[in-house]
Amino acid sequence: MISRVSFGLAGACLLALAMAGCAGTPPEEDPVQIKLKDLDTRLARIDRVVANQSLLDLANQNEAMRADLRAMHNDIDQLTNRLETSRREQHDLYADLDRRMKALEARGGGGSAAGPGEAGAAGAGAAGGSAVSGNDDKAAYQAAFDLLKNSQFDAAIAAFQKFLVSFPDSTLADNAQYWLGEANYVNKAFTEAQAAFQKVVDKYPQSRKLPDALLKIGYCQYELKDFDAAKRTLSKVATQFPDSPSGHLAQQRLDNMAAEKH
Protein backbone atom coordinates (compact mmCIF):
# COMPACT_ATOMS: atom_id res chain seq x y z
CA MET A 1 0.00 0.00 0.00
CA ILE A 2 2.80 2.37 0.88
CA SER A 3 4.68 1.49 -2.28
CA ARG A 4 1.72 2.41 -4.42
CA VAL A 5 1.28 5.73 -2.65
CA SER A 6 5.01 6.50 -2.97
CA PHE A 7 4.97 5.60 -6.62
CA GLY A 8 2.03 7.88 -7.18
CA LEU A 9 3.67 10.76 -5.39
CA ALA A 10 6.86 10.24 -7.31
CA GLY A 11 4.98 10.27 -10.58
CA ALA A 12 3.15 13.41 -9.61
CA CYS A 13 6.42 15.11 -8.72
CA LEU A 14 7.99 14.15 -11.99
CA LEU A 15 4.99 15.46 -13.92
CA ALA A 16 5.09 18.71 -11.95
CA LEU A 17 8.81 19.14 -12.62
CA ALA A 18 8.33 18.50 -16.33
CA MET A 19 5.55 21.06 -16.49
CA ALA A 20 7.63 23.54 -14.51
CA GLY A 21 10.54 23.03 -16.89
CA CYS A 22 8.37 23.74 -19.91
CA ALA A 23 6.84 26.74 -18.27
CA GLY A 24 10.29 28.09 -17.35
CA THR A 25 11.61 28.14 -20.98
CA PRO A 26 11.73 31.84 -22.01
CA PRO A 27 9.56 32.63 -25.05
CA GLU A 28 12.40 34.58 -26.72
CA GLU A 29 14.34 31.38 -27.10
CA ASP A 30 11.65 30.09 -29.39
CA PRO A 31 13.32 29.91 -32.85
CA VAL A 32 10.19 31.20 -34.56
CA GLN A 33 10.04 34.24 -32.30
CA ILE A 34 13.75 34.89 -32.78
CA LYS A 35 13.35 34.73 -36.58
CA LEU A 36 10.36 37.08 -36.52
CA LYS A 37 12.22 39.61 -34.36
CA ASP A 38 15.23 39.44 -36.69
CA LEU A 39 12.99 40.11 -39.67
CA ASP A 40 11.35 43.04 -37.85
CA THR A 41 14.79 44.52 -37.09
CA ARG A 42 15.90 44.17 -40.72
CA LEU A 43 12.70 45.76 -42.02
CA ALA A 44 13.16 48.69 -39.61
CA ARG A 45 16.70 49.23 -40.89
CA ILE A 46 15.53 49.10 -44.50
CA ASP A 47 12.78 51.63 -43.74
CA ARG A 48 15.33 53.98 -42.21
CA VAL A 49 17.70 53.65 -45.18
CA VAL A 50 14.88 54.31 -47.66
CA ALA A 51 13.67 57.30 -45.65
CA ASN A 52 17.18 58.73 -45.40
CA GLN A 53 17.79 58.20 -49.12
CA SER A 54 14.54 59.99 -49.98
CA LEU A 55 15.50 62.93 -47.80
CA LEU A 56 18.96 63.00 -49.41
CA ASP A 57 17.42 62.99 -52.89
CA LEU A 58 15.09 65.83 -51.92
CA ALA A 59 17.98 67.80 -50.48
CA ASN A 60 20.02 67.28 -53.66
CA GLN A 61 17.11 68.32 -55.84
CA ASN A 62 16.54 71.41 -53.71
CA GLU A 63 20.21 72.40 -53.98
CA ALA A 64 20.16 71.86 -57.75
CA MET A 65 17.10 74.09 -58.07
CA ARG A 66 18.79 76.77 -56.00
CA ALA A 67 21.88 76.59 -58.22
CA ASP A 68 19.68 76.93 -61.32
CA LEU A 69 17.94 79.95 -59.80
CA ARG A 70 21.27 81.57 -58.98
CA ALA A 71 22.43 81.00 -62.55
CA MET A 72 19.20 82.47 -63.91
CA HIS A 73 19.52 85.55 -61.70
CA ASN A 74 23.09 86.00 -62.90
CA ASP A 75 22.01 85.71 -66.56
CA ILE A 76 19.21 88.23 -65.97
CA ASP A 77 21.64 90.68 -64.37
CA GLN A 78 24.04 90.36 -67.28
CA LEU A 79 21.26 90.84 -69.84
CA THR A 80 19.96 93.87 -67.93
CA ASN A 81 23.42 95.43 -67.88
CA ARG A 82 23.91 94.78 -71.58
CA LEU A 83 20.51 96.25 -72.40
CA GLU A 84 21.23 99.33 -70.32
CA THR A 85 24.63 99.75 -71.98
CA SER A 86 23.07 99.36 -75.42
CA ARG A 87 20.36 101.91 -74.63
CA ARG A 88 22.92 104.38 -73.32
CA GLU A 89 25.13 103.97 -76.38
CA GLN A 90 22.14 104.30 -78.71
CA HIS A 91 21.07 107.48 -76.93
CA ASP A 92 24.61 108.87 -77.12
CA LEU A 93 24.78 107.98 -80.79
CA TYR A 94 21.64 109.85 -81.77
CA ALA A 95 22.41 112.76 -79.45
CA ASP A 96 25.85 113.08 -81.02
CA LEU A 97 24.45 112.83 -84.55
CA ASP A 98 21.76 115.39 -83.77
CA ARG A 99 24.33 117.78 -82.29
CA ARG A 100 26.59 117.49 -85.32
CA MET A 101 23.72 117.99 -87.74
CA LYS A 102 22.51 121.10 -85.92
CA ALA A 103 26.02 122.51 -85.91
CA LEU A 104 26.35 121.82 -89.60
CA GLU A 105 22.97 123.32 -90.35
CA ALA A 106 23.99 126.46 -88.48
CA ARG A 107 26.97 126.70 -90.83
CA GLY A 108 24.80 126.22 -93.88
CA GLY A 109 25.13 122.48 -94.40
CA GLY A 110 28.90 122.25 -94.62
CA GLY A 111 30.61 125.56 -94.06
CA SER A 112 28.92 127.78 -96.62
CA ALA A 113 25.36 129.00 -96.78
CA ALA A 114 23.17 127.74 -99.59
CA GLY A 115 21.32 130.23 -101.73
CA PRO A 116 17.59 130.14 -102.52
CA GLY A 117 18.16 128.23 -105.74
CA GLU A 118 20.33 125.67 -103.99
CA ALA A 119 17.82 125.20 -101.18
CA GLY A 120 15.05 124.61 -103.70
CA ALA A 121 17.10 122.04 -105.56
CA ALA A 122 17.98 120.30 -102.30
CA GLY A 123 14.33 120.09 -101.29
CA ALA A 124 13.40 118.57 -104.61
CA GLY A 125 16.18 116.02 -104.25
CA ALA A 126 14.99 114.99 -100.78
CA ALA A 127 11.40 114.63 -101.95
CA GLY A 128 12.51 112.45 -104.86
CA GLY A 129 14.60 110.21 -102.59
CA SER A 130 17.93 110.81 -104.38
CA ALA A 131 20.55 113.50 -104.67
CA VAL A 132 20.27 116.13 -107.40
CA SER A 133 22.37 115.37 -110.45
CA GLY A 134 24.11 118.11 -112.36
CA ASN A 135 26.96 120.53 -111.84
CA ASP A 136 25.87 122.12 -108.58
CA ASP A 137 27.87 120.35 -105.88
CA LYS A 138 26.31 122.40 -103.07
CA ALA A 139 22.79 121.41 -104.11
CA ALA A 140 23.76 117.76 -104.48
CA TYR A 141 25.45 117.80 -101.09
CA GLN A 142 22.47 119.46 -99.42
CA ALA A 143 20.10 116.95 -100.97
CA ALA A 144 22.13 114.04 -99.58
CA PHE A 145 22.35 115.73 -96.21
CA ASP A 146 18.57 116.25 -96.12
CA LEU A 147 18.07 112.53 -96.71
CA LEU A 148 20.29 111.86 -93.70
CA LYS A 149 18.35 114.34 -91.56
CA ASN A 150 15.12 112.63 -92.54
CA SER A 151 16.53 109.26 -91.38
CA GLN A 152 16.56 107.89 -94.94
CA PHE A 153 19.91 106.33 -94.27
CA ASP A 154 20.15 103.94 -97.24
CA ALA A 155 19.20 106.73 -99.65
CA ALA A 156 21.66 109.09 -97.94
CA ILE A 157 24.48 106.54 -98.31
CA ALA A 158 23.76 106.24 -102.02
CA ALA A 159 23.52 110.03 -102.42
CA PHE A 160 26.83 110.73 -100.66
CA GLN A 161 28.56 108.00 -102.64
CA LYS A 162 27.23 109.53 -105.85
CA PHE A 163 28.33 112.99 -104.72
CA LEU A 164 31.90 111.81 -104.08
CA VAL A 165 32.06 110.24 -107.55
CA SER A 166 30.52 113.28 -109.25
CA PHE A 167 32.39 115.97 -107.30
CA PRO A 168 35.68 114.50 -106.05
CA ASP A 169 37.35 117.95 -105.95
CA SER A 170 34.50 119.77 -104.23
CA THR A 171 35.29 121.77 -101.11
CA LEU A 172 32.48 119.74 -99.51
CA ALA A 173 34.06 116.37 -100.34
CA ASP A 174 35.54 115.90 -96.86
CA ASN A 175 32.16 116.62 -95.26
CA ALA A 176 30.41 114.24 -97.68
CA GLN A 177 32.93 111.54 -96.87
CA TYR A 178 32.39 112.05 -93.14
CA TRP A 179 28.57 111.97 -93.37
CA LEU A 180 28.80 108.85 -95.50
CA GLY A 181 30.50 107.28 -92.52
CA GLU A 182 27.83 108.60 -90.14
CA ALA A 183 25.01 107.19 -92.30
CA ASN A 184 26.66 103.76 -92.28
CA TYR A 185 27.31 104.00 -88.54
CA VAL A 186 23.67 104.74 -87.72
CA ASN A 187 22.75 101.85 -90.02
CA LYS A 188 25.02 99.66 -87.84
CA ALA A 189 27.24 98.89 -90.83
CA PHE A 190 30.31 99.44 -88.67
CA THR A 191 32.91 97.98 -91.06
CA GLU A 192 31.75 100.24 -93.89
CA ALA A 193 31.50 103.19 -91.52
CA GLN A 194 35.06 102.70 -90.26
CA ALA A 195 36.36 102.58 -93.84
CA ALA A 196 34.51 105.81 -94.69
CA PHE A 197 35.86 107.62 -91.62
CA GLN A 198 39.38 106.35 -92.35
CA LYS A 199 39.19 107.97 -95.79
CA VAL A 200 38.54 111.31 -94.09
CA VAL A 201 41.78 110.84 -92.12
CA ASP A 202 43.79 109.63 -95.11
CA LYS A 203 42.51 111.94 -97.86
CA TYR A 204 41.66 115.08 -95.91
CA PRO A 205 44.19 115.41 -93.06
CA GLN A 206 43.51 119.17 -92.84
CA SER A 207 39.75 118.76 -92.60
CA ARG A 208 37.98 120.15 -89.55
CA LYS A 209 36.18 116.79 -89.53
CA LEU A 210 39.41 115.00 -88.62
CA PRO A 211 38.78 114.84 -84.80
CA ASP A 212 35.20 113.65 -85.38
CA ALA A 213 36.34 111.04 -87.91
CA LEU A 214 39.00 109.69 -85.54
CA LEU A 215 36.46 109.53 -82.73
CA LYS A 216 34.04 107.55 -84.86
CA ILE A 217 36.82 105.19 -85.97
CA GLY A 218 37.29 104.42 -82.28
CA TYR A 219 33.55 103.92 -81.88
CA CYS A 220 33.46 101.53 -84.85
CA GLN A 221 36.40 99.54 -83.45
CA TYR A 222 34.53 99.29 -80.17
CA GLU A 223 31.36 98.03 -81.87
CA LEU A 224 33.43 95.51 -83.82
CA LYS A 225 34.89 94.37 -80.45
CA ASP A 226 38.44 95.37 -81.41
CA PHE A 227 38.84 96.86 -77.95
CA ASP A 228 42.63 97.31 -77.99
CA ALA A 229 42.49 99.27 -81.24
CA ALA A 230 39.53 101.28 -79.93
CA LYS A 231 41.48 102.27 -76.81
CA ARG A 232 44.47 103.36 -78.90
CA THR A 233 42.32 105.45 -81.25
CA LEU A 234 40.23 107.05 -78.52
CA SER A 235 43.33 107.80 -76.44
CA LYS A 236 44.81 109.54 -79.48
CA VAL A 237 41.70 111.71 -79.85
CA ALA A 238 41.60 112.55 -76.13
CA THR A 239 45.30 113.46 -76.17
CA GLN A 240 45.46 115.43 -79.44
CA PHE A 241 42.12 117.23 -79.06
CA PRO A 242 41.59 117.46 -75.28
CA ASP A 243 39.43 120.60 -75.33
CA SER A 244 37.21 119.62 -78.24
CA PRO A 245 33.81 117.90 -78.02
CA SER A 246 35.38 114.88 -79.73
CA GLY A 247 38.13 114.76 -77.12
CA HIS A 248 35.59 114.82 -74.30
CA LEU A 249 33.49 112.10 -75.92
CA ALA A 250 36.59 109.99 -76.47
CA GLN A 251 37.49 110.23 -72.79
CA GLN A 252 33.93 109.32 -71.78
CA ARG A 253 34.04 106.18 -73.93
CA LEU A 254 37.45 105.27 -72.48
CA ASP A 255 36.01 105.64 -68.98
CA ASN A 256 33.06 103.44 -69.92
CA MET A 257 35.38 100.82 -71.38
CA ALA A 258 37.43 100.81 -68.17
CA ALA A 259 34.23 100.27 -66.17
CA GLU A 260 33.28 97.42 -68.52
CA LYS A 261 36.80 95.96 -68.03
CA HIS A 262 37.63 96.11 -71.75
Domain membership flag for residue 11? no
112 and 133 co-located in one domain: yes
221 and 114 co-located in one domain: yes
For residue 142, the enclosing domain spans 108-259
Q: What is the pLDDT of residue 5?
A: 47
What average pLDDT does this structure show over 245-260? 93
90 and 122 co-located in one domain: no
Domain membership flag for residue 147? yes
- Name the pLDDT band for 70 (thresholds 50, 70, 90): confident
Domain membership flag for residue 230? yes
- Domain boundary (48, 74, 106) is at 106
Domain count, the chain: 2
101 and 124 co-located in one domain: no
CATH of the domain at 215: 1.25.40.10
Residue-wise pLDDT for 124-133, tens only, equals 333 334 434 4
Domain membership flag for residue 5? no
Domain membership flag for residue 38? yes
- Domain boundary (106, 131, 159) is at 106
| The pTM of the whole model exceeds 0.75 | no
- Name the pLDDT band for 88 (thresholds 50, 70, 90): low
45 and 84 co-located in one domain: yes
What average pLDDT does this structure show over 186-192? 94
**Average pLDDT across the chain, whole number:** 76
Q: Residue 121 half-sphere exposure, CB side, CA atoms within 13 Å?
A: 18
Domain membership flag for residue 248? yes
153 and 190 co-located in one domain: yes
197 and 98 co-located in one domain: no
Q: What is the pLDDT of residue 119?
A: 35
Domain membership flag for residue 17? no
Percent of the chain with pLDDT over 70: 65
Nearest to 84 by CA among 258, 256, 261: 256
102 and 152 co-located in one domain: no
